[in-house]
Protein backbone atom coordinates (compact mmCIF):
# COMPACT_ATOMS: atom_id res chain seq x y z
CA UNK A 1 0.00 0.00 0.00
CA UNK A 2 2.89 2.38 0.74
CA UNK A 3 4.09 1.86 -2.83
CA UNK A 4 0.66 2.84 -4.16
CA UNK A 5 0.68 6.00 -2.04
CA UNK A 6 4.15 7.00 -3.20
CA UNK A 7 3.10 6.43 -6.82
CA UNK A 8 -0.03 8.54 -6.29
CA UNK A 9 2.09 11.29 -4.75
CA UNK A 10 3.42 12.22 -8.20
CA UNK A 11 -0.14 13.20 -9.20
CA UNK A 12 -0.24 15.95 -6.57
CA UNK A 13 0.77 19.57 -7.25
CA UNK A 14 4.51 20.06 -6.76
CA UNK A 15 3.78 22.55 -3.98
CA UNK A 16 2.25 19.68 -1.98
CA UNK A 17 4.45 16.69 -2.74
CA UNK A 18 7.39 17.38 -0.44
CA UNK A 19 5.08 18.28 2.44
CA UNK A 20 2.77 15.29 2.01
CA UNK A 21 5.59 12.74 1.76
CA UNK A 22 6.55 12.83 5.48
CA UNK A 23 2.89 12.38 6.44
CA UNK A 24 2.16 9.31 4.32
CA UNK A 25 5.59 7.80 5.06
CA UNK A 26 4.83 7.38 8.76
CA UNK A 27 4.71 3.73 9.81
CA UNK A 28 1.34 4.22 11.49
CA UNK A 29 -0.31 6.20 8.67
CA UNK A 30 -3.84 4.82 8.20
CA UNK A 31 -5.47 7.17 5.75
CA UNK A 32 -5.86 10.04 8.22
CA UNK A 33 -4.33 13.51 7.91
CA UNK A 34 -4.66 15.36 11.19
CA UNK A 35 -5.74 18.96 11.42
CA UNK A 36 -2.27 20.37 12.25
CA UNK A 37 -0.85 18.78 9.10
CA UNK A 38 -3.84 20.02 7.09
CA UNK A 39 -3.06 23.57 8.22
CA UNK A 40 0.56 23.17 7.11
CA UNK A 41 -0.47 21.80 3.72
CA UNK A 42 -2.76 24.77 3.17
CA UNK A 43 -0.01 27.17 4.23
CA UNK A 44 2.58 25.72 1.86
CA UNK A 45 0.25 25.15 -1.09
CA UNK A 46 -1.81 28.36 -0.79
CA UNK A 47 -4.83 26.28 -1.81
CA UNK A 48 -8.31 26.88 -0.48
CA UNK A 49 -9.89 23.94 1.36
CA UNK A 50 -11.97 22.54 -1.56
CA UNK A 51 -9.00 22.71 -3.92
CA UNK A 52 -6.67 21.12 -1.36
CA UNK A 53 -9.07 18.23 -0.84
CA UNK A 54 -9.43 17.66 -4.59
CA UNK A 55 -5.64 17.69 -4.91
CA UNK A 56 -5.30 14.99 -2.24
CA UNK A 57 -7.84 12.62 -3.82
CA UNK A 58 -5.23 10.52 -5.68
CA UNK A 59 -3.89 9.45 -2.28
CA UNK A 60 -7.32 8.26 -1.17
CA UNK A 61 -7.87 6.45 -4.47
CA UNK A 62 -4.54 4.66 -3.97
CA UNK A 63 -6.32 2.49 -1.39
CA UNK A 64 -8.83 1.23 -3.97
CA UNK A 65 -9.20 -2.54 -4.36
CA UNK A 66 -11.18 -2.97 -7.57
CA UNK A 67 -10.45 -6.35 -9.19
CA UNK A 68 -13.90 -6.47 -10.82
CA UNK A 69 -14.51 -2.94 -12.10
CA UNK A 70 -10.92 -1.72 -12.45
CA UNK A 71 -12.47 1.63 -11.53
CA UNK A 72 -10.59 3.28 -8.68
CA UNK A 73 -12.61 5.73 -6.59
CA UNK A 74 -11.29 7.84 -3.73
CA UNK A 75 -13.12 9.93 -1.15
CA UNK A 76 -12.09 12.23 1.69
CA UNK A 77 -14.36 13.01 4.63
CA UNK A 78 -13.46 16.26 6.41
CA UNK A 79 -14.50 16.09 10.04
CA UNK A 80 -15.52 18.98 12.26
CA UNK A 81 -12.24 18.39 14.11
CA UNK A 82 -10.36 19.35 10.94
CA UNK A 83 -9.02 15.83 10.39
CA UNK A 84 -9.22 14.32 6.90
CA UNK A 85 -10.29 10.69 6.48
CA UNK A 86 -9.50 8.73 3.32
CA UNK A 87 -11.70 6.06 1.81
CA UNK A 88 -11.72 4.02 -1.38
CA UNK A 89 -13.90 1.44 -3.06
CA UNK A 90 -13.30 -2.20 -2.14
CA UNK A 91 -14.48 -5.20 -4.19
CA UNK A 92 -14.40 -8.94 -3.53
CA UNK A 93 -13.40 -11.37 -6.26
CA UNK A 94 -15.81 -14.29 -6.78
CA UNK A 95 -18.44 -12.72 -4.53
CA UNK A 96 -21.72 -10.94 -5.27
CA UNK A 97 -21.46 -7.24 -6.05
CA UNK A 98 -23.57 -6.28 -3.03
CA UNK A 99 -20.53 -7.04 -0.87
CA UNK A 100 -18.66 -4.13 -2.46
CA UNK A 101 -17.88 -1.06 -0.36
CA UNK A 102 -18.11 2.39 -1.94
CA UNK A 103 -15.46 5.05 -1.38
CA UNK A 104 -17.82 7.41 0.45
CA UNK A 105 -18.82 4.60 2.80
CA UNK A 106 -15.18 3.80 3.44
CA UNK A 107 -14.27 7.41 4.24
CA UNK A 108 -17.21 7.82 6.64
CA UNK A 109 -16.39 4.46 8.21
CA UNK A 110 -12.84 5.73 8.74
CA UNK A 111 -14.15 8.82 10.53
CA UNK A 112 -16.63 6.71 12.53
CA UNK A 113 -13.81 4.36 13.57
CA UNK A 114 -11.92 7.36 14.95
CA UNK A 115 -14.96 8.49 16.96
CA UNK A 116 -15.58 11.73 15.08
CA UNK A 117 -18.84 13.46 15.97
CA UNK A 118 -19.53 15.40 12.76
CA UNK A 119 -18.46 15.56 9.12
CA UNK A 120 -18.43 18.87 7.27
CA UNK A 121 -18.02 17.64 3.72
CA UNK A 122 -17.09 14.70 1.54
CA UNK A 123 -14.83 15.11 -1.50
CA UNK A 124 -15.06 12.41 -4.17
CA UNK A 125 -13.27 11.61 -7.42
CA UNK A 126 -16.60 10.95 -9.16
CA UNK A 127 -20.21 11.94 -8.55
CA UNK A 128 -21.66 9.81 -5.72
CA UNK A 129 -24.17 7.18 -6.73
CA UNK A 130 -27.63 7.02 -5.16
CA UNK A 131 -26.43 4.31 -2.77
CA UNK A 132 -23.77 6.65 -1.36
CA UNK A 133 -26.06 9.67 -1.21
CA UNK A 134 -28.42 7.57 0.90
CA UNK A 135 -25.54 6.40 3.10
CA UNK A 136 -24.43 9.98 3.72
CA UNK A 137 -28.00 10.95 4.55
CA UNK A 138 -27.77 8.81 7.69
CA UNK A 139 -25.33 11.28 9.24
CA UNK A 140 -26.78 13.60 11.87
CA UNK A 141 -25.00 16.41 10.03
CA UNK A 142 -26.65 15.47 6.70
CA UNK A 143 -28.74 18.69 6.52
CA UNK A 144 -25.54 20.76 6.36
CA UNK A 145 -23.25 18.27 4.60
CA UNK A 146 -21.55 19.36 1.38
CA UNK A 147 -20.15 17.20 -1.43
CA UNK A 148 -17.10 18.46 -3.30
CA UNK A 149 -16.63 17.37 -6.92
CA UNK A 150 -14.00 18.44 -9.44
CA UNK A 151 -16.48 18.54 -12.31
CA UNK A 152 -19.28 20.51 -10.67
CA UNK A 153 -17.80 22.09 -7.52
CA UNK A 154 -19.37 22.09 -4.06
CA UNK A 155 -23.01 21.06 -3.72
CA UNK A 156 -25.14 20.35 -0.68
CA UNK A 157 -26.24 16.78 -0.06
CA UNK A 158 -29.81 18.11 -0.01
CA UNK A 159 -29.35 19.23 -3.62
CA UNK A 160 -28.02 15.81 -4.61
CA UNK A 161 -30.73 13.96 -2.67
CA UNK A 162 -33.99 15.93 -2.77
CA UNK A 163 -37.09 14.60 -0.98
CA UNK A 164 -34.78 12.35 1.03
CA UNK A 165 -35.65 9.40 3.26
CA UNK A 166 -33.84 9.13 6.57
CA UNK A 167 -33.95 8.11 10.24
CA UNK A 168 -36.74 10.53 11.13
CA UNK A 169 -39.05 8.85 8.59
CA UNK A 170 -38.78 5.65 10.63
CA UNK A 171 -39.32 7.42 13.92
CA UNK A 172 -35.65 7.33 14.89
CA UNK A 173 -34.26 10.39 16.65
CA UNK A 174 -30.61 9.31 16.82
CA UNK A 175 -28.38 9.25 13.77
CA UNK A 176 -24.90 8.26 12.67
CA UNK A 177 -22.01 9.85 14.61
CA UNK A 178 -24.45 11.07 17.29
CA UNK A 179 -25.85 7.79 18.65
CA UNK A 180 -25.08 6.67 22.19
CA UNK A 181 -23.17 3.39 22.80
CA UNK A 182 -24.95 0.36 24.19
CA UNK A 183 -23.80 -1.90 27.02
CA UNK A 184 -23.84 -5.47 25.78
CA UNK A 185 -22.20 -8.24 27.81
CA UNK A 186 -21.14 -11.64 26.55
CA UNK A 187 -23.54 -14.53 27.09
CA UNK A 188 -20.56 -16.58 28.24
CA UNK A 189 -17.53 -15.05 29.91
CA UNK A 190 -14.50 -14.84 27.67
CA UNK A 191 -11.27 -13.06 28.60
CA UNK A 192 -9.79 -13.24 25.12
CA UNK A 193 -8.49 -9.80 24.16
CA UNK A 194 -9.76 -10.34 20.61
CA UNK A 195 -13.26 -11.19 21.83
CA UNK A 196 -13.24 -8.18 24.16
CA UNK A 197 -12.16 -5.92 21.28
CA UNK A 198 -15.05 -7.24 19.17
CA UNK A 199 -17.46 -6.67 22.07
CA UNK A 200 -16.30 -3.07 22.43
CA UNK A 201 -16.80 -2.58 18.69
CA UNK A 202 -20.32 -4.00 18.95
CA UNK A 203 -21.17 -1.66 21.82
CA UNK A 204 -20.18 1.36 19.74
CA UNK A 205 -21.84 0.18 16.52
CA UNK A 206 -24.87 1.91 15.00
CA UNK A 207 -28.02 -0.20 14.68
CA UNK A 208 -31.14 1.85 15.53
CA UNK A 209 -33.49 -0.14 13.26
CA UNK A 210 -32.68 -3.82 13.86
CA UNK A 211 -30.92 -3.31 17.22
CA UNK A 212 -28.53 -6.02 16.05
CA UNK A 213 -25.42 -4.28 17.35
CA UNK A 214 -22.35 -6.03 16.00
CA UNK A 215 -18.60 -5.67 15.90
CA UNK A 216 -15.69 -7.62 14.52
CA UNK A 217 -12.10 -7.84 15.68
CA UNK A 218 -9.37 -9.48 13.63
CA UNK A 219 -5.74 -10.23 14.29
CA UNK A 220 -2.96 -9.97 11.73
CA UNK A 221 0.22 -11.97 11.31
CA UNK A 222 2.05 -9.17 13.13
CA UNK A 223 -0.28 -9.41 16.14
CA UNK A 224 -2.09 -6.19 15.27
CA UNK A 225 -5.76 -6.09 16.34
CA UNK A 226 -8.13 -4.19 14.04
CA UNK A 227 -11.84 -3.67 14.64
CA UNK A 228 -14.91 -2.81 12.59
CA UNK A 229 -18.45 -1.80 13.52
CA UNK A 230 -21.85 -2.23 11.95
CA UNK A 231 -23.31 0.94 10.41
CA UNK A 232 -27.03 0.62 9.73
CA UNK A 233 -29.00 2.73 7.26
CA UNK A 234 -32.65 3.77 7.12
CA UNK A 235 -32.87 2.32 3.60
CA UNK A 236 -31.38 -0.96 4.90
CA UNK A 237 -29.44 -1.98 1.75
CA UNK A 238 -26.76 0.74 2.03
CA UNK A 239 -25.90 -0.50 5.54
CA UNK A 240 -22.22 -1.37 6.10
CA UNK A 241 -21.62 -4.75 7.71
CA UNK A 242 -19.08 -5.15 10.52
CA UNK A 243 -16.98 -7.33 8.21
CA UNK A 244 -16.95 -4.68 5.49
CA UNK A 245 -16.02 -2.11 8.14
CA UNK A 246 -13.10 -4.09 9.54
CA UNK A 247 -11.73 -4.99 6.10
CA UNK A 248 -11.73 -1.32 5.10
CA UNK A 249 -9.78 -0.54 8.27
CA UNK A 250 -7.43 -3.45 7.54
CA UNK A 251 -6.75 -2.03 4.08
CA UNK A 252 -6.16 1.49 5.43
CA UNK A 253 -3.67 0.04 7.93
CA UNK A 254 -1.65 -1.37 5.04
CA UNK A 255 -2.60 -5.04 5.38
CA UNK A 256 -4.23 -7.47 2.95
CA UNK A 257 -6.63 -10.38 3.43
CA UNK A 258 -3.71 -12.82 3.53
CA UNK A 259 -2.44 -11.10 6.67
CA UNK A 260 -5.49 -12.14 8.73
CA UNK A 261 -4.98 -14.98 11.22
CA UNK A 262 -8.25 -14.83 13.20
CA UNK A 263 -11.65 -13.12 13.15
CA UNK A 264 -14.21 -12.75 15.94
CA UNK A 265 -17.80 -11.56 15.37
CA UNK A 266 -19.76 -10.39 18.41
CA UNK A 267 -23.41 -9.52 17.89
CA UNK A 268 -26.52 -9.02 19.96
CA UNK A 269 -28.57 -12.17 20.44
CA UNK A 270 -32.28 -12.64 19.75
CA UNK A 271 -32.80 -9.93 17.15
CA UNK A 272 -34.68 -10.29 13.86
CA UNK A 273 -31.49 -10.41 11.80
CA UNK A 274 -27.95 -11.71 12.07
CA UNK A 275 -24.57 -11.04 10.49
CA UNK A 276 -23.37 -14.58 11.13
CA UNK A 277 -24.20 -16.29 7.84
CA UNK A 278 -23.04 -13.47 5.56
CA UNK A 279 -19.83 -13.16 7.57
CA UNK A 280 -19.22 -16.91 7.43
CA UNK A 281 -19.53 -16.96 3.63
CA UNK A 282 -16.89 -14.28 3.09
CA UNK A 283 -14.58 -15.54 5.83
CA UNK A 284 -14.66 -19.04 4.34
CA UNK A 285 -13.91 -17.66 0.88
CA UNK A 286 -10.93 -15.80 2.33
CA UNK A 287 -9.61 -19.09 3.71
CA UNK A 288 -9.53 -17.96 7.33
CA UNK A 289 -9.74 -20.99 9.62
CA UNK A 290 -9.88 -19.22 12.96
CA UNK A 291 -13.32 -17.65 12.96
CA UNK A 292 -15.64 -17.42 15.95
CA UNK A 293 -19.19 -16.11 16.31
CA UNK A 294 -20.12 -14.92 19.82
CA UNK A 295 -23.46 -13.71 21.15
CA UNK A 296 -24.00 -10.89 23.63
CA UNK A 297 -27.03 -9.54 25.49
Residue-wise pLDDT tens digits, 112-150: 999 999 999 999 999 999 999 999 999 999 999 999 998
pLDDT bin (cut points 50, 70, 90) of residue 1 is low
Domain ranges of the chain: 28-170, 193-295
219 an active-site residue?
no
Mean pLDDT along residues 232-257: 98
Kindly state the average pLDDT of the residues 229-249. Answer: 99
Q: Are 142 and 166 in contact (CB under 8 A)?
A: yes
Element housing 277 (H / E): helix 276-285
What are 253-290's pLDDT values in tens digits? Answer: 999 999 999 999 999 999 999 999 999 999 999 999 99
pLDDT in tens, 151-208: 999 999 999 999 999 999 999 999 999 999 999 999 999 999 999 999 999 999 999 9
Binding positions for substrate: 89-91
Q: Given this structure, which CATH class describes domain 28-170?
A: alpha beta
- Intrachain domains 28-170 and 193-295 with the same fold: yes
Kindly report the CATH class assigned to 193-295.
Answer: alpha beta
Per DSSP, the three-state class of 146 is strand
Mean residue pLDDT of the chain comes to: 97
- Indicate which residue of 14, 48, 104, 232 is catalytic: 104
Distances (CA, A) of 165 to 95, 140, 169, 292: 29, 13, 6, 36
- Tell me whether strands 260-268 and 214-220 are parallel, antiparallel or unpaired: antiparallel
CA distance 245 to 293: 17
In the structure, what pLDDT confidence band is assigned to residue 2 with cuts at 50, 70 and 90? Answer: confident
Amino acid sequence: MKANLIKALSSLPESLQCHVLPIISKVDFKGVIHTDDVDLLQLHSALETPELLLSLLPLAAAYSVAPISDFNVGAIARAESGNLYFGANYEFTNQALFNSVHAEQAAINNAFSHHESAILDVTVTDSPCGHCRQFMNELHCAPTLSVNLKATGVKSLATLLPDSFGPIDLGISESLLAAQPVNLTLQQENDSSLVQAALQAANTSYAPYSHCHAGIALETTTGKVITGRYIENAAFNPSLSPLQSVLINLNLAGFTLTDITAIILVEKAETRMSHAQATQVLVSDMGIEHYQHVYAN
